[in-house]
A and B are shown apart, each in its own frame.
Chain A
Amino acid sequence: DSGVTQTPKHLITATGQRVTLRCSPRSGDLSVYWYQQSLDQGLQFLIQYYNGEERAKGNILERFSAQQFPDLHSELNLSSLELGDSALYFCASSEEGPPTPGELFFGEGSRLTVL
């Protein structure tokens, strides 16, 4: 058990809909990372937060947004969903922040299926 909790584990929805994925980092970890894993793109970095502030953006679509709350949990919002958004979304946390991340602790992921 990594100590990182992601909900929901599975989500099935329709195109055009909006979903929210939630992540609770390990106790004490200030950094949260979101990754998207799909068969064709591999593991893609989406966005990172450190102690409530956005610190880095990767290949995140404009239809996606995220935030980290004062209690350090994070949410990833996916809107106007398309079939291609179907993927496994991972949250990871680490105790170190910029500029040098330490070990990442991963949740078990949220599997999103868009029909």
Chain B
Amino acid sequence: AQSVTQLDSHVSVSEGTPVLLRCNYSSSYSPSLFWYVQHPNKGLQLLLKYTSAATLVKGINGFEAEFKKSETSFHLTKPSAHMSDAAEYFCVVSPGQSGGSYIPTFGRGTSLIVHP
């Protein structure tokens, strides 16, 4: 079985300050992990993914995430927030090829609010 917990339902930052969106996962097998972003009235778009290569993953728009197996975490960060980053962010876990449910499991989402 697999699950994902996004630790904050809302995160509020000022423009130009760092962003940290937290995600913890549980998976019986070596998982693949993803972060997706959803802007208002839009579909979800992939930000970045981890698939057992480098533990520090760089994505689009300056975002990156670090896979920490010992902490079962995959937190999303960005050094400097931009107004256009305001959106809903989803952490997603998919099982590895060893088996288990192959359906990606989505977290409940974190709403990022960026103040001018």
Q: Which residues of A contact B (CB under 8 A)?
A: 2, 4, 33, 35, 42-43, 45, 48, 55-56, 58, 90, 92, 98-101, 103-109
Contact = CB atoms under 8 A, between A and B. Distances in A.
Contact of B97 (A100, A103, A104, A109): A100
Contacts of A100: 32, 94-97, 102
B45 A104 contact: no
Report the interface size class on chain B. Answer: 20 to 34
A106 B90 CA distance: 13
Given A90-B43, A90-B44, A100-B95, A43 B109 contact: yes
Contact of A43 (B45, B90, B97): B90
B44 A106 contact: yes
A69 to B, nearest CB: 21
B46 to A, nearest CB: 5
B106 A43 contact: yes
Contacts of A35: 106
Contacts of A92: 44
Nearest to B44: A106
A89 B81 CA distance: 30
30 contacts: A4-B43, A33-B103, A33-B104, A35-B106, A42-B108, A43-B90, A43-B106, A45-B103, A55-B102, A56-B101, A56-B102, A90-B43, A90-B44, A99-B97, A99-B99, A99-B102, A100-B94, A100-B97, A100-B102, A101-B94, A101-B104, A103-B49, A104-B34, A104-B36, A104-B104, A106-B36, A106-B44, A107-B43, A108-B42, A109-B43
Interface of B: 32, 34, 36, 41-46, 49, 90, 92, 94-97, 99-109
Contacts of B96: 100
B32 to A, nearest CB: 7
Contacts of B46: 103-105
Contacts of B94: 100-101
Contacts of B92: 104
Contact of B95 (A4, A90, A99): A99
